């Protein structure tokens, strides 16, 4: 009970600070869409452009994914939020399974890939995040690389760096393995990674920096972390390798959004989400070097040179729904 009280005090303070800055204003007019966002970067410009183009203001509150879901649940019908936005399909699916989101009109997702849209239209991906193999070109020939599963080969003994098990990106990758191989098959893969004395790290940037410094030769990270590092240092000595190209394709996760179950103006909320997936796609994805979900929008120049790749067509909701099993599997495999 004490922890929950502390959480609400923290959020109240945050709301007051943001209100003082003009970001959140509970007394503003009706033509405003309010966003609770677990995505913490490169949104202000997109929201400002939406407001300029439509005349509809955007008010937003940043927070942790679990905190914002708890807030939505506690506020119920009195919530200010019209849109819940976050990263990783598992976080979106947790909101959907807790009945915190409502179905959108099909027109909102028209033209977007089916595998990035919830089957009941409860949420939609707005950008793509490819979680793939990274390697040092001086120590690894790309012909040695192929699949996530092949990283169980003893040739990678002591040469691997991966993200810790409490990271939702890792959980979603393992969840996709469960879908494709079944629980026991996925357990064999993760156990194989562990058997290769994989070094487990706390964040993707650290993995990439360790590869560059020679601490390991190969790792798995989201693609945009490498793009950020290359933006600062074009000579950064790590390259991406698109995994599983001869099979199902590389694992693709999302950042995305849905309309809250108790939105005051669901149509306005849908309009913002539709705009972010269409006219506002570049503003939404380019700042963080993500891949667009809209097939008519080219990838940012910073990553376009990495070439095309085959994506795993698995619907994001299918691996997102296996999150709890993925956590259990990694514990069973001894993957920290």
Model confidence pTM above 0.85? yes
| Pair 191, 260 in one domain | no
In degrees, rounded to 5, the angle at the alpha carbon of residue 161 between the alpha carbons of residues 155 and 163 is 140
Residue whose entry in the numeric block shows the structure tokens 């001869």: 246
331 class by beta-carbon count within 10 Å (0-12 exposed, 13-18 middle, 19+ buried): exposed
Q: What is the pLDDT of residue 36?
A: 97
Give dist(CA 300, CA 287) in Å, integer. Answer: 9
| Pair 61, 157 in one domain | no
| Pair 325, 206 in one domain | yes
> Residue-wise pLDDT tens for the chain (336 aa)?
333 333 333 343 344 334 333 343 333 444 799 999 998 877 888 999 999 999 999 999 999 999 999 999 999 999 999 999 999 999 999 999 999 999 999 999 999 999 999 999 999 999 999 999 999 999 999 999 999 999 999 999 999 999 999 999 999 999 999 999 999 999 999 999 999 999 999 999 999 999 999 999 999 999 999 999 999 999 999 999 999 999 999 999 999 999 999 999 999 999 999 999 999 999 999 999 999 999 999 999 999 999 999 999 999 999 999 999 999 999 999 999
What φ, ψ does residue 133 adopt, rounded to 5°? -85, 135
**Total count of domains within the chain:** 2
pLDDT tens for residues 94-145? 999 999 999 999 999 999 999 999 999 999 999 999 999 999 999 999 999 9
| Pair 30, 164 in one domain | no
Among 85, 40, 39, 34, CA closest to 60:
34
| Pair 223, 158 in one domain | yes
Residue 36's domain spans which residues?
2-128+254-304
CATH of the domain at 33: 3.40.190.10
Among 43, 47, 92, 89, CA closest to 69:
92
| Pair 61, 141 in one domain | no
| Pair 187, 321 in one domain | yes
| Pair 139, 220 in one domain | yes
Give yes or no for a contact between 284 and 278, defined as CB atoms under 8 angstroms apart.
Answer: no
| Average pLDDT of the chain to the nearest whole number | 91
| Pair 23, 80 in one domain | yes
| Pair 134, 110 in one domain | no
Give dist(CA 115, CA 118) in Å, integer. Answer: 8
| Pair 180, 324 in one domain | yes
| Pair 212, 231 in one domain | yes
Give yes or no for a contact between 121 and 108, defined as CB atoms under 8 angstroms apart.
Answer: yes
Give yes or no for a contact between 131 and 174, defined as CB atoms under 8 angstroms apart.
Answer: no
Long-range contacts, stretch 265-269, CB < 8 angstroms, 24+ apart: 265/30, 265/33, 265/82, 266/82, 266/102, 268/31, 268/32, 268/33, 268/56, 268/82, 269/33, 269/82, 269/83
Q: What is the pLDDT of residue 23?
A: 40
């Amino acid at each position: 009970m004490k922890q929950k009280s502390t959480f609400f005090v923290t959020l109240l303070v945050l709301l007051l600070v943001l209100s003082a800055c003009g970001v959140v204003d509970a007394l503003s007019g009706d033509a405003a869409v309010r966003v609770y966002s677990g995505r913490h970067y490169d949104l202000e410009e997109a929201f400002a452009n939406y407001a300029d183009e439509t005349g509809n203001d955007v008010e937003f509150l940043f927070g942790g994914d679990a905190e914002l879901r708890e807030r939505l649940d506690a506020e119920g019908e009195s919530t200010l939020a019209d849109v819940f936005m976050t990263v990783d399909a598992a976080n979106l699916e947790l909101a959907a399974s807790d009945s915190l989101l409502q179905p959108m009109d099909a027109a909102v997702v028209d033209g977007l890939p089916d595998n990035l849209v919830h089957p009941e239209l409860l949420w939609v991906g707005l950008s793509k995040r490819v979680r793939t193999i990274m390697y040092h070109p001086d120590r690894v020939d790309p012909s040695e690389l192929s699949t996530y599963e092949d990283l169980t080969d003893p040739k990678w003994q002591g040469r691997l760096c991966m993200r810790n098990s409490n990271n939702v990106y890792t959980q979603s990758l393992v969840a996709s393995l469960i879908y494709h191989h079944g629980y026991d098959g996925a357990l064999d893969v993760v156990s194989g990674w562990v058997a290769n004395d994989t070094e487990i790290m706390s964040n993707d940037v650290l993995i990439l920096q360790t590869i560059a410094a020679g601490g390991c030769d190969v790792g798995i990270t989201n693609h945009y972390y490498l793009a950020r590092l290359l933006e600062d240092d074009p000579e950064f000595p790590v390259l991406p390798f698109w995994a599983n190209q001869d099979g199902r394709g590389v694992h693709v996760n999302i950042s995305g959004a849905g309309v809250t179950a108790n939105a005051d103006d669901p149509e306005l909320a849908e309009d913002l989400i539709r705009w972010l997936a269409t006219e506002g796609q570049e503003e939404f994805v380019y700042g963080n070097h993500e891949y667009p979900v809209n097939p008519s929008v080219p990838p940012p120049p910073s990553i376009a040179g990495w070439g095309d790749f085959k994506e795993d067509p698995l619907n994001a909701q299918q691996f997102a729904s296996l999150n709890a099993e993925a956590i259990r599997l990694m514990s069973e495999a001894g993957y920290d």
